[in-house]
Structure 1
Amino acid sequence: MGRILAIDYGVKRIGLAVTDEMQMIAFGLVTVPTTEFFTYLSNYTQKEKVDLIVVGEPKQMDNSASESEVHILPFIEKIKEKFPAISIKRHDERFTSKMAFQTMLDSGMKKKQRRNKALIDEISATIILQDYLKTF
C-alpha cells in the first residue's frame, strides 16, 4: 500500500503532509515553494509510493468556493497531467490555518516560531490529512 499525500496549496508555498504506509497516521512532511513543487513531488514519488493526493478545498462559510480556487484548479490539472497514476481527491480545509496556529500556541511555541508561515502551512496540510483519514 502507498502513502496518502495532503496538500495545503498557496500561491507562494505548499504545505505537505503524508501518511505512513498503512495510511493510518498523518504527519507533516515539508513546506516547499510553489515553484518547486513538481520537482519535489517527482523526487518524492521516485522514493515513496503515493496512492492518493488530497488537495485542500478552501470554502466560504456559505459553502461556496473560495477565491483561491482559481489558482488551485489549474494546479490540480497539472498534477493529473504529470502524475496520471495518482488519484486526487479534495477535502474541505476551512479553518485549518486557524487550527494550525492554535496548535502552535497550545504546544508552547515561542512567538518567533509562530510567525513561521511555512510551519503553519505544513501543520495545515497535516490537519487536512488527519480530517480526511477520519472520513476515509
Structure 2
Amino acid sequence: MMTGAVAWLSPREQEIWRSCLHAQQTLHEALDQQLRRDAGIPHAYYHILVALSECDGRRTSMTKLAAEVGSSPSRLSHAVSRLEARGWVARRRDRRNRRVVLASLTDQGFAALAAAAPGHVREVRRMLFDRLSPEQLDALADVTSALDPRPGPS
C-alpha cells in the first residue's frame, strides 16, 4: 500500500531519465556485440573474467564474485559453467571451509581475457571517451560517483 503523494517526473526529468536509459542500453549492446563478434563471449562473461583477474591469486568465492559482477548466484553459476567448459575458469571447494566454492581464472582464461581486452577497450573508447570533452568526462565522473552504491576509495 502506497502512502503520500508521488513526486512525478517533470518533462525535463523524464527526458533526462529516458536519455540515460537509452545511452546505457546503447553502450551495453555495442560492448556486447563487439565481444561476441571478436572474442565469442557476451559482455557478462568478460566482466567475470576481468573480476577474477583482479582478485588476489586470480581467485575468489562464488559469493564474492556474484556481488562484484552484480549477478544472482544462479546466473553466475550458469556463466561460470560455460567458462569452465572453455577451460577459462575452474571451481573447487575451499580447503579451509568446504561450504565455500572458489572460482579461479585459469592461465588459458587469462590469455583469452588478454586477447579480448584490446578490442573491448577500443570499443569503450569509441562509444564513450572519444565522444566526450574533458569537461563532460569530469561531469560524468561526478554523476556516476554519486549514483554508484559501492563505497568509494578510502
Q: Same fold (TM over 0.5)?
A: no
**For the pair shown, which has the larger CA radius of gyration, 1 or 2?**
2
* TM-score class normalised by the smaller sequence: under 0.3
Q: Which has the higher contact order (CA 8 A, sep 6+)?
A: 1
Q: Which has the higher strand share?
A: 1
Q: Which has the higher helix share?
A: 2
> What's the TM-score once normalised by structure 2's chain length?
0.25
